[in-house]
Amino acid sequence: MTEIFLAGKWALVVFVMVGAVPMVAAAYQFLLVAVHFRRNHYAACAAYFPRTAILVPAWNEALVIGASIDRLMKLNYPPAALRVFVVDDASTDDTPGVILAKAAEYPGQVFHLRREKGGEGKAHTLNHGLRIILGDDWMQALLIMDADVIYEADSLRMMTRHLSDPTVGAVTAYIKEGSRPGNYLTRFIGFEYITAQAAARRGQNVLGAVACLAGGAQLHSRTNLETIGGRIDTSSLAEDTFTTFKTQMAGNRVVFEPHATVWAEEPGTIGGLWKQRLRWARGNVQVTKQFARVWCRPSRVHRLGSFSFSVFWFCLFLLPLLMILASASLIILYFAALPTAWVAFHFLWIINALTYVFITSFVVMIDWQTGRHTWLQGILFPGAISLAIIIGSCFPRLLRMIFYDVLPLTGVMVTSGERRCLVLFAYAWLALSMAVAYIGKVIEPRWFGRLLSPAFIYIAGYGPLLCACTFASYVKELRGAEMTWDKTEKTGKVAMPT
For residue 356, the minimal CB distance to other proteins (Å) is 9
Name the residue nearer to other proteins (CB basis): 36 or 246: 36
Name the residue nearer to other proteins (CB basis): 29 or 433: 29
For residues 485 and 479, give the distance between their C-alpha atoms in angstroms, rounded to a whole number: 17
Name the residue nearer to other proteins (CB basis): 29 or 236: 29
For residue 34, the minimal CB distance to other proteins (Å) is 4
For residue 359, the minimal CB distance to other proteins (Å) is 8
For residue 37, the minimal CB distance to other proteins (Å) is 4
DSSP string, 80-110: GGEEEEEEEES-SSSHHHHHHHHHHHSTTTE
For residue 361, the minimal CB distance to other proteins (Å) is 5
For residues 284 and 312, give the distance between their C-alpha atoms in angstroms, rounded to a whole number: 13
Spell 123-148 as b/e; 16+ CB within 10 A means b. Answer: bbbbbbbbeebbeeeebbbbbbbbbb
Q: Which of 454, 410, 460, 459 is nearest to 434 (CA)?
A: 460
For residues 272 and 154, give the distance between their C-alpha atoms in angstroms, rounded to a whole number: 31
| Those residues with Cβ within 8 angstroms of residue 367's Cβ, 6 or more apart along the chain or in another chain | 176, 194, 198
For residue 51, the minimal CB distance to other proteins (Å) is 19
For residues 426 and 416, give the distance between their C-alpha atoms in angstroms, rounded to a whole number: 15
Whether the CB-CB separation of 476 and 282 falls below 8 Å is answered with yes
For residue 259, the minimal CB distance to other proteins (Å) is 5
Whether the CB-CB separation of 259 and 152 falls below 8 Å is answered with no
Name the residue nearer to other proteins (CB basis): 38 or 293: 38
Strand partners, 115: 89
Spell 94-111 as b/e; 16+ CB within 10 A means b. Answer: bbbebbbebbeebeebbb
Name the residue nearer to other proteins (CB basis): 185 or 196: 196
For residue 366, the minimal CB distance to other proteins (Å) is 6
Sheet holding 253-264, edge to edge: 110-115, 82-89, 52-58, 141-144, 218-221, 168-177, 253-264, 150-151
For residues 459 and 440, give the distance between their C-alpha atoms in angstroms, rounded to a whole number: 10
How many Cβ atoms from other residues are within 10 Å of residue 90's Cβ? 16
For residue 198, the minimal CB distance to other proteins (Å) is 9
The residue ranges that bind other proteins (CB under 8 A) are: 30-31, 33-37, 40, 42, 45-47, 158, 161, 202, 259, 350, 353-354, 357-359, 361-362, 365-366, 394-398
Name the residue nearer to other proteins (CB basis): 285 or 359: 359
Name the residue nearer to other proteins (CB basis): 367 or 477: 367
For residues 126 and 148, give the distance between their C-alpha atoms in angstroms, rounded to a whole number: 16
For residues 380 and 387, give the distance between their C-alpha atoms in angstroms, rounded to a whole number: 7
For residue 87, the minimal CB distance to other proteins (Å) is 32
How far apart, in Å, are the Cα atoms of 395 and each of 57, 76, 386, 469?
53, 53, 14, 32
| Those residues with Cβ within 8 angstroms of residue 416's Cβ, 6 or more apart along the chain or in another chain | none
Name the residue nearer to other proteins (CB basis): 161 or 277: 161
For residue 60, the minimal CB distance to other proteins (Å) is 38
Name the residue nearer to other proteins (CB basis): 132 or 350: 350
Name the residue nearer to other proteins (CB basis): 97 or 396: 396
Name the residue nearer to other proteins (CB basis): 256 or 274: 256
Single-letter amino acid code for the residue at 173: A
